[in-house]
Structure 1
Amino acid sequence: MIFTVLRKEDSTLWNEFLNGNRESFEAIYALYHKNLYEYGMRKADDEDLVKDCIQDLFVRLWTKRNSISATTNIKYYLMAALKNLLLNSDIRKARTPVVELEENAFFKMNFVEQELPPSRQPDEQTIRLMAALNQLTGRQKEVLYLRYFEEMDYEQIAQLMDISVKGIYKLNYRAIDALKEILNLPKNDILVLLAVCRLYFMK
């Protein structure tokens, strides 16, 4: 039954959850848990903290659903909420994680190709891209991840990173420009490689 619910539009699924539909709530978790985990680990690099915050997020969603507003983009809503939990939660204050979570101070972008099955091992160009991504600043890595891996629009990224839309455009441009210089490739080739990289690691 959940698989039927998964195909619904975000706004419909979210509204059903807000009205107390447990099946829709479970479908939201099934749809976006992996995205939240991936994003959380890149922001915090502390698996226990990330898992605790994701669990806390969904507990809060269910218990406070009567006061939560509507949304047309569930993934963005959840990622923004998780980011706030990672930065401000009592869990973080109590544990004092190894990686400091100041705004945009850290963003992990490395991918481990050994974790993939043999049928999905990346080619040499994709491996070069992964190495190049790790040479970028934290903010540059985050804007590329949100834009090309999570496929968010510039307005959503601006809100999530607390930067103006104009600033996000500039940051994205500089990140792509840096990759062009590192890899000695034109912009279109960089964009193709980012799309290929997403196919490897975002399934």
Structure 2
Amino acid sequence: MEQTNNSTETLLASFQAGNMAAFSELYDSHINILFNYGLKLTIDKELLKDCIHDIFVKLYVKKDELGVIENLKSYLFISLKNKLCDELRKRMYMSDTAVEEINAVSPTDVEDDYMEEEKTRSNLLLVNNLMDQLSPRQREALTLYYIEEKKYEDICEIMDMNYQSVRNLMHRGLTKLRALVG
């Protein structure tokens, strides 16, 4: 994501040493990813822009007090999430409609999305590992049938096999998968 050859750590250290050009580079290299992340937390783009601005102002003002930041990207994401939550809580006390906004853009939605992506990734890895346990012909037949949604007649033609041989191949493949899973 960096727009220069400098690493984020080098830019951060340079900024903390007083280099304002490094601060500008950090801002430029992280602004878009923070904005995209923030859109998953709120639909209020103006609030989002203000919160991003505020976290960079805080970073600038408190640069001497921060110490070592191991992962700036994570630090900025967490800061943005906390700032948005704080602002939405303030709005809740100022107006009844803020409760609806908090419910509509709960930060847990992002966590749920992440967990769902991890579960999908894990399932895909499991399926790939299971498919690797099959013979190449079984894997080909099952892939043609379940993934490419081919009919048995098409599979017979593609694999140059008769109908009953394809059925037997599919049956043995599924039986082996059930045994591996069970």
What's the TM-score once normalised by structure 1's chain length? 0.50
Counterpart amino acid of 2:26? I
1:94 to 91, 95, 102: 91
Other structure's SS at 1:42 match:
coil
In structure 2, C-alpha distance between the alignment counterparts of 1:27 and 1:144, rounded to whole Å: 34
Kept in 1: contact 2:8–2:72 (CA 8 A): yes
The within-5 A match list for 1:42-191 is 42-89=40-87, 93-94=90-91, 96=98, 98-100=101-103, 102-104=106-108, 106-107=109-110, 139=112, 141-143=113-115, 172=118, 174-176=119-121, 186=127
Shift of the alpha carbon at 1:94? 3.0
Counterpart amino acid of 2:90? K
Other structure's SS at 1:98 match:
helix
User: Against the structure 1 CA distance between its residues 187 and 92, is the aligned structure 2 distance closer, same or farther, given a 3 Å change threshold?
Assistant: farther
2:10 to 3, 9, 12: 12
Q: Which runs of 5+ in 1 are unaligned?
A: 108-137, 146-171, 181-185, 189-203
C-alpha offsets along residues 127-153 of structure 1, whole Å, 9 cap, x if unaligned? xxxxxxxxxxx51x13467xxxxxxxx
Kept in 2: contact 1:49–1:92 (CA 8 A): no
- Is 1:24 aligned to 2:22, yes or no? yes
Other structure's SS at 1:69 match:
coil
C-alpha offsets along residues 81-140 of structure 1, whole Å, 9 cap, x if unaligned? 111111124x65137372435551x33xxxxxxxxxxxxxxxxxxxxxxxxxxxxxx51x
Whose radius of gyration is greater, 1 or 2? 2
User: Against the structure 1 CA distance between its residues 71 and 46, is the aligned structure 2 distance closer, same or farther, given a 3 Å change threshold?
Assistant: same
Kept in 1: contact 2:52–2:80 (CA 8 A): yes
Counterpart amino acid of 1:31? S
Kept in 2: contact 1:10–1:71 (CA 8 A): no
User: Against the structure 1 CA distance between its residues 67 and 42, is the aligned structure 2 distance closer, same or farther, given a 3 Å change threshold?
Assistant: same
Counterpart amino acid of 2:58? R
Task: Choose between structure 1 and 2 for higher RCO, CA contacts under 8 A separated by at least 6 residues.
Answer: 1
Which piece of structure 1 moves more, 29-38 or 62-71? Answer: 62-71
In structure 2, C-alpha distance between the alignment counterparts of 1:64 and 1:102, rounded to whole Å: 29
Other structure's SS at 2:13 match:
helix
In structure 2, C-alpha distance between the alignment counterparts of 1:187 and 1:37, rounded to whole Å: 35
Q: Which runs of 5+ in 2 are unaligned?
A: 93-97, 130-182
In structure 2, C-alpha distance between the alignment counterparts of 1:79 and 1:143, rounded to whole Å: 17
User: Against the structure 1 CA distance between its residues 68 and 102, is the aligned structure 2 distance closer, same or farther, given a 3 Å change threshold?
Assistant: same
Shift of the alpha carbon at 1:32? 0.6
Shift of the alpha carbon at 1:14? 0.7
